[in-house]
């Protein structure tokens, strides 16, 4: 659905994106993560055909973004991190205006406004002026405006920033619903825990380059192991590292953390082997690997 090849974006004297290449499958929800200044917003703006890259190719739903930006605008919805709203309009007027901007036929405008208001639970607020809305409702309205034309692709830059936990849960649910409807979603966020709930893929951007692209994270979920030793943890670290299924491991005092991609039998074998070697283990736990673990393990790789 989204294919990026050798994308380079430059500001005067600085490369914001360095030869970025990746592809995102249709119907996925991709978490775009990385530290501040990594180039996430620049990448999203290039994908949305708002900023023109220095070189490289972007194809969205089969459309060359640099050659036909206007066609791309029709098939995607984008919500920037610092989006604005028309404060003096009512919520209904905002949604109607958004429908007109996206050339939704007159006879479908009201139906579409009603539908998107329902999806975002905005019905009680339709007659209210935007300036009277709280942060959470403003965020919902922003998302509603971005998806009113039912785009194939939705790009969201920090959509949950500043939301209370209830609103975040509601937005997670919305993303799952949108994915079920067949939309491809790219979400940039700092809050990895919230992405956990709905992301299928993860794209890690650091210093303008892709450092990791995990596809289908939910199906190929690795385990995060934590082995606590009474003493001599460093002696057993090489044994763990060499074991089949261990993708990476770190030693922190008497604790070894490992990313484990093997199955339950292999996990049992690992424990058996360590006990057979006489390892003074005083604690062992395993849990499904979280995006945060993946992200942090990538940081340690560097």
Partner 1 sequence: MRLNPEIQRNLWLEFSPHRLFAMPIVLGLILYIAGCANDNLNESHAFEMTAVTLYFLLVKIWGGHKAAEAVLQEVNDNTWDFQKLSALSPWDLTIGKLFGGSSFTWYGGLMVYVAAVWAVSNRLNGADLFCYAALMLLSGLIVQAAALFTSLIAVQNRNGAHNKMRPLPYHFAGLVIGGIFAIDNTWQSIPYKTNLQNIQHHFISWYGTAYELNSFLTITALVTLGWLVAGIYWQMRGQLKMPTSPWLWLGFVLFWIGYSGGFTPDMSGHPQYFVETRGLIPFFLSLAFLYVITFQEGWTTVRYRRCLSAWKEKHYSKAFEICPRWVLTYPICLALALWIGTTSATIFTLGFMFFATRDIAILHIFKLNPENQNPTRTTKFYLALLYLLLPALFAVLHIPDGLLLFVPSDKVASLLSGSMQAAIFINFALSRWHRFGVKAA
Q: Could you give the string, one character per residue 117-156, with x where binding to partner 1 holds by CB under 8 A and - elsewhere?
A: ----------------------------x---x-------
64 touches partner 1 by CB under 8 A = no
How far apart are CB 62 and partner 1 at their closest, in Å? 18
Q: Could you give the string, one character per residue 153-192, with x where binding to partner 1 holds by CB under 8 A and - elsewhere?
A: ----------------------------------------
Nearer Cβ to partner 1, position 39 or 245? 39
253 touches partner 1 by CB under 8 A = no
Task: Give the whole-angstrom CA distance, residue 57 versus residue 3.
Answer: 8
What are the Cα distances from residue 174, in Å, to 162, 185, 275?
Answer: 17, 11, 47
Binding footprint of partner 1, residue count (CB under 8 A): 38
Q: Which stretch binds partner 1 (CB under 8 A): 92-100, 229-237, 257-265, 276-284?
A: 92-100
Q: Which of residues 18-37 bind partner 1 (CB under 8 A)?
A: none
Which of 12, 62, 165, 253 is the binder for partner 1 (CB under 8 A)? Answer: 12
Backbone angles phi and psi of 297, in degrees to 5? -65, -30
For residue 26, give every residue at least 6 positions away whose Cβ sits within 8 Å of its Cβ, in sequence order, or none: 1, 182, 184
CA angle in degrees (0–180, nearest 5) for 60-171-148: 50
Q: Which residue has the tokens 């309205």?
A: 141
Which of 19, 61, 64, 80 is the binder for partner 1 (CB under 8 A)? Answer: 80
Task: Kindly tell me the burial class for residue 222, based on how many C-beta atoms sit within 10 Å of its own C-beta (0-12, 13-18, 19 or more).
Answer: buried
Let me know: does 91 contact 68? Beta carbons within 8 Å. no
Question: Where does the chain show beta strands of DSSP type E?
Answer: 2-11, 14-24, 29-33, 55-60, 63-64, 76-79, 153-157, 184-188, 201-206, 209-214, 223-229, 246-252, 255-260, 281-288
Q: Which stretch binds partner 1 (CB under 8 A): 69-77, 113-121, 230-238, 251-259?
A: 69-77
76 touches partner 1 by CB under 8 A = yes
Which of 69, 136, 262, 280 is the binder for partner 1 (CB under 8 A)? Answer: 69
Q: Quick one: which of 92, 48, 97 has its CA closest to 74?
A: 48
Chain residues that interact with partner 1, rule: CB under 8 A? 10-15, 48-50, 52, 54-55, 69-70, 73-74, 76-78, 80, 82-89, 93, 97-98, 100-103, 106, 145, 149
């Amino acid at each position: 659905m989204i294919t990026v090849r050798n994308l380079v974006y430059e500001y005067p004297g600085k490369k914001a994106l360095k030869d970025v290449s990746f592809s995102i499958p249709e119907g996925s929800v991709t978490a775009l993560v990385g530290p501040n200044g990594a180039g996430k917003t620049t990448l999203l703006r290039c994908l949305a055909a708002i900023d023109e890259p220095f070189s490289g190719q972007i194809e969205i739903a089969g459309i060359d973004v640099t050659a036909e930006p206007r066609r791309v605008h029709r098939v995607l919805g984008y919500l920037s991190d610092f989006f604005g709203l028309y404060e003096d309009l009512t919520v209904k007027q905002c949604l109607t205006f958004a429908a007109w901007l996206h050339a939704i036929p007159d006879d479908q405008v009201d139906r579409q406004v009603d539908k998107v208001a329902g999806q975002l639970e905005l019905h009680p607020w339709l007659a209210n002026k935007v300036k009277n809305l709280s942060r959470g409702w403003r965020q919902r309205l922003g998302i509603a405006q971005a998806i009113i034309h039912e785009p194939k692709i939705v790009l969201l830059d920090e959509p949950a920033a500043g939301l209370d936990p209830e609103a975040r849960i509601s937005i997670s649910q919305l993303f799952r619903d949108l994915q079920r409807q067949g939309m491809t979603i790219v979400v940039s966020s700092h809050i990895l825990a919230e992405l956990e709930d709905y992301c299928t893929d993860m794209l890690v951007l650091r210093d303008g380059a892709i450092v990791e692209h995990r596809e289908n994270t939910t199906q190929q979920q690795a385990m995060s192991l934590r082995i606590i030793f009474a003493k001599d943890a460093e002696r057993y670290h090489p044994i763990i590292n060499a074991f089949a299924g261990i993708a990476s491991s770190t030693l922190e005092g008497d604790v070894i953390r490992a990313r484990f991609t093997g199955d339950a039998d292999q996990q049992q074998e690992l424990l058996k082997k360590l006990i057979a070697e006489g390892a003074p283990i005083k604690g062992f736990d395993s849990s499904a690997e979280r995006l945060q673990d993946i992200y942090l393990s990538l940081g340690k790789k560097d």
